[in-house]
A and B are shown apart, each in its own frame.
Chain A
Amino acid sequence: MKELNSMRLEFPSRSANEGFARAAVAAFASQLDMTLTELGDVKTAVSEAVTNCIVHAYPDMIGTVHMRVRIVDPETLEIQVKDKGRGIEDVERAREPLFTTGGEDRSGMGFTIMESFMDEVKVRSKPGVGTAVTMRKKIEKRRPVR
């Protein structure tokens, strides 16, 4: 896949940055001329992945959240959210609806939402090393990026 444009973003795992990450990705993605629904889906998926880093990857500390957003041909938005935190023991199980290690404050729906709002969600994780979530969404017949 040919890369047409890209950006990187890195910030401390403070919850105030959840809204910042959504807004930054939305601003970058605006060059794709997406529908409001598509933009809402992308913001939601970003919010889920970034919140997981803040809540689960770095539970008792402030770590760094790394994001890379790419626009690749043909008209696909690719978002990678990466942490060097705790990692996930069993990724398949973690992706199941309602599975959570977060107790009452969490619903265990984050991965399910990412999967239903994006076309593709890949999760790579190693306990003690970190997690990378890569999501792709095809943007329907919009004007091309110049």
Chain B
Amino acid sequence: MKLTSTQNGGKLTLAIAGELDHHEARALCVEMEERIEEVLPRDCVLDLKELRFMDSSGIAVILKVYKHMNALGGRLTVRNVPDQPLRVLDASGIDRMIEITAGEPD
């Protein structure tokens, strides 16, 4: 599991690579929260292009980041979601709360 963060003005992009399961979730969450606290972005983008696998542990992680961004009055979008994580997100109904796009960012 690898996290790469890029800041561009008020926009923070967090790119997650690898497999996101219960084993990886806690450390990843801590790292992402730290980045958000440092930058205090208006827009946070989770880029999942290199995410090879995700299960329900990932849903909890994304929800936490979503709540964090809400508390800051900011916005979260999830981008470049590969097929397997997308099926998990669809089954969870999380797409009713969070903007999720399978394709490339605009």
Nearest chain B CB to A110 CB, angstrom units: 5
A33 within 8 A of B: no
Contact residues in B for A31 (Cβ distance below 8 Å): none
Contact residues in A for B96 (Cβ distance below 8 Å): none
The CA-CA distance from A112 to B21 in the complex, in Å, is 16
Nearest chain A CB to B54 CB, angstrom units: 8
Contact residues in B for A107 (Cβ distance below 8 Å): 56, 59-60, 63, 92
Nearest chain B CB to A94 CB, angstrom units: 14
A5 within 8 A of B: no
A6 within 8 A of B: no
A-contacting residues, B43-80, CB 8 Å: 53, 55-57, 59-60, 63-64
**Interface of A toward B, CB cutoff 8 Å:** 15-16, 18-19, 22, 36-37, 40-41, 43-44, 47-48, 51, 54-55, 97, 104-107, 109-110, 112-113, 116-117
**Interface of B toward A, CB cutoff 8 Å:** 19, 21-23, 25-26, 53, 55-57, 59-60, 63-64, 83-84, 87-88, 91-93
